[in-house]
Amino acid sequence: MKILVIQQKRIGDVLTSTIICNNIKKQFPNYTVDYMCYTNSVDVLIGNPNIDTIIPLSHKVRKNYFSLFKFIFEIRAKKYDIVIDVYNKLETNLITMFTGASIKVGYHKWYTTLFYTHNLKRFENSDKPKYGFAIDNRLLLLNPLKLDKNNINPFPKLFVSSKENEETILLFEKHKIDRTKKTIMISLLGSEKNKTYPLQYMVQVVEHIANYDVNILFNYFENQIGDAKFIYNSCSTSTKEKIYFDLFGTDLRSFVSIMNQCDVIIGNDGGAINMAKALNKPAFTIFSPFVEKNIWATFEDGLRNISVHLNDFKPELFDNLHHDEIKKNHTTMYEYFTPELFIDKIDFFINNNLKNI
**Number of folded domains in the chain?**
2
| d(C-alpha 232, C-alpha 30), whole Å | 50
Q: Judge if 184 and 281 occupy the same domain.
A: yes
**Position 203 in a domain:** yes
Q: Judge if 266 and 333 occupy the same domain.
A: yes
Give the pLDDT of residue 356.
58
Give the pLDDT of residue 115.
95
Q: Judge if 166 and 120 occupy the same domain.
A: no
**Position 186 in a domain:** yes
Give the pLDDT of residue 65.
86
CA distances from 113 to 72, 108, 109, 137, 138 (A): 20, 8, 8, 18, 19
Q: Judge if 211 and 244 occupy the same domain.
A: yes
| d(C-alpha 65, C-alpha 70), whole Å | 8
Q: Judge if 209 and 98 occupy the same domain.
A: no
Whole-structure pTM value: 0.94
Crossing angle of helices 271-278/252-260, nearest 10°?
Answer: 50
Q: Judge if 227 and 309 occupy the same domain.
A: yes
CATH number reported for the structural domain that contains residue 71 in this entry = 3.40.50.2000
**Position 259 in a domain:** yes
| d(C-alpha 295, C-alpha 307), whole Å | 12
DSSP class of residue 243? B
Please list the residues that pair with 219 across neighbouring strands: 187
Q: Judge if 119 and 218 occupy the same domain.
A: no
Q: Judge if 179 and 296 occupy the same domain.
A: yes
Residue 70: its H or E element: helix 65-76
**Position 157 in a domain:** no
Q: How crowded is residue 26: how many other Cβ atoms within 10 Å of its Cβ?
A: 14
Q: Judge if 144 and 172 occupy the same domain.
A: no
Scored b (16 or more CB within 10 A) or e, 43-62 reads bbbbebebbeebbebeeebe
Structural domain boundaries enclosing 266 = 162-353
**Position 305 in a domain:** yes
pLDDT, averaged in runs of 10, over the chain (357 residues): 95 97 98 97 97 96 90 96 95 94 96 95 85 96 96 97 97 96 96 94 98 96 93 98 94 96 97 97 97 93 97 95 92 97 98 81
Q: Out of 121, 151, 181, pick the residue that ends a domain.
A: 151
Give the pLDDT of residue 55.
98
Q: Out of 151, 172, 198, pick the residue that ends a domain.
A: 151
Specify whether the CB–CB gap between 187 and 268 falls below 8 A. yes
CA distances from 49 to 189, 190, 230, 237, 339 (A): 31, 30, 41, 45, 41
